Amino acid sequence: MGFSERTGLFRRLEDRVQDLSDLTAELGIDTADIPVVTLAHDWGGLISQGWRRNTLAFTPPPS
């Protein structure tokens, strides 16, 4: 993704979403207890949206 160093391993979007879940668990971030805001773009945006599937998220109403 982007200019990341190439490892030769194929990693799916789901793998990267799991990486973010693992990171927040390791850091002790419990989204049920505290609000979490992510700010991301490009591939980070897709990963962030995939990760929030198990969290409470605000979605603005259509204009």
Q: Which residue has the higher pLDDT, 3 or 22?
A: 22
Mean pLDDT of 50-59: 65
CA-to-CA distance for 6 and 55, rounded, in angstroms? Answer: 31
d(CA 42, CA 3): 12
Q: Report pLDDT digits (tens) over 14-47.
A: 998 999 889 888 988 877 777 778 888 887 888 8
Q: What is the pTM of this model?
A: 0.67
CB 27 within 8 A of CB 52: no
**Tokens read off for 19:** 């990486």
